[in-house]
């Protein structure tokens, strides 16, 4: 088998950014009583019209240590570690922008990846609308994404298998494109079984995910 190359989005995939953002907004008196399961749009300020503004979100982003404190998804961290150990070349491809940070975006991001023990070959900052181009240019075999529109654009390249992580805000994403496969974090190990034929792959991580699924799905 040729060496696989795979891409992971960061926010909403490896990093539980939306959940962490919602918690921080609630400590400031916004979205009281709201649950993450109620967030039906990727842009959280549009989830409940009229309750918060973009400025409220940016104020959280500019809070010292907010980005460093974002929780990680334990199941997908296990997935990234496993494929890396199997020889897959991993690309972390994120749409994070400098204006969302009060410090250097790359330095803060690398620090978070290091702290969470994520081994990767490449860290790239790419606009969501251009991720499909990156996948083609770097000849990625698969990409894990949380935004439905991005997952579809990647699948339309017909050269990169796009996996859409199951989240409340992409429930209405159309999935009739053949390479867009909706996978919950709990059953994400099916992808690796497909490529490696390892029926025992992720037994421990699967158990952990089933017992913590409500925490991050």
Lowest mean pLDDT among 14-28, 102-116, 202-216: 202-216
The superfamily CATH assigns to domain 5-16+71-216 is HAD superfamily/HAD-like (3.40.50.1000)
Q: In which band, very low, low, confident or very high, does the pLDDT at 131 lie, cut at 50, 70 and 90?
A: very high
Q: What is the mean pLDDT of residues 107-119?
A: 95
DSSP string, the chain: -PPPEEEE-TBTTTB-HHHHHHHHHHHTTSSTT--GGG--SSSGGGTSTTS--HHHHHHHHTSTTHHHHPPB-HHHHHHHHHHHHTTPEEEEEE---GGG-SS-HHHHHHHHHHHTT---SEEEE--GGGHHHHHHHTT-SEEEES-HHHHHHHHTTSSSEEEEE--GGGTT----STTEEEE-STTTHHHHHHHH--TTTTHHHHHHHHHHHHHH-
Is the pLDDT at 10 greater than 50? The verdict is yes
Kindly state the tokens that stand for 116. Answer: 């969470």
pTM of the model: 0.81
Is the pLDDT at 182 greater than 80? The verdict is no
Q: Name the packing angle between helices 74-85 and 189-196 (round to 10°).
A: 10
146 close to 122: Cβ distance less than 8 angstroms: no
Is the pLDDT at 54 greater than 80? The verdict is yes
Task: Enumerate the domain spans of the chain.
Answer: 5-16+71-216, 17-67
The values of phi and psi at residue 57, to 5°, are -70, -45
Burial class (CB in 10 A: 0-12, 13-18, 19+), 61: middle
In terms of phi and psi (left: phi > 0; alpha: psi -120 to 50; beta: otherwise), the region of 212 is alpha
| Per-residue pLDDT at 159 | 86
């Amino acid at each position: 088998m040729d060496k696989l190359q795979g891409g992971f989005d960061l926010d909403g995939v490896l990093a539980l950014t939306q959940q962490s953002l919602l918690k921080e907004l609630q400590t400031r008196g916004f979205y009281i009583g709201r649950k993450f399961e109620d967030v039906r749009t990727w842009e959280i300020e549009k989830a409940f019209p009229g309750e918060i503004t973009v400025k409220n979100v940016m104020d959280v982003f500019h809070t010292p240590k907010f980005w460093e404190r974002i929780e990680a998804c334990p199941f997908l961290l296990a997935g990234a570690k496993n494929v890396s150990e199997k020889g897959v070349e991993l690309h972390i491809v994120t749409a994070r922008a400098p204006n969302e940070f009060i410090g250097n975006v790359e330095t803060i991001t690398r620090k978070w990846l290091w702290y969470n023990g994520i081994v990767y070959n490449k860290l790239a900052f790419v606009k969501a609308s251009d991720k499909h181009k990156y996948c083609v240019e770097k000849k990625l075999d698969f990409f894990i994404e949380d935004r439905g529109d991005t997952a579809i654009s990647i699948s339309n390249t017909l050269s990169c298998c796009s996996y859409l992580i199951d989240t409340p805000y992409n429930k209405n994403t159309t999935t009739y494109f053949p390479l867009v496969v909706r996978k919950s974090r709990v059953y994400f190990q099916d992808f690796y079984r497909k490529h490696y034929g390892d029926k025992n792959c992720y037994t421990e991580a699967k158990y952990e995910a089933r017992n913590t699924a409500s925490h991050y799905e």
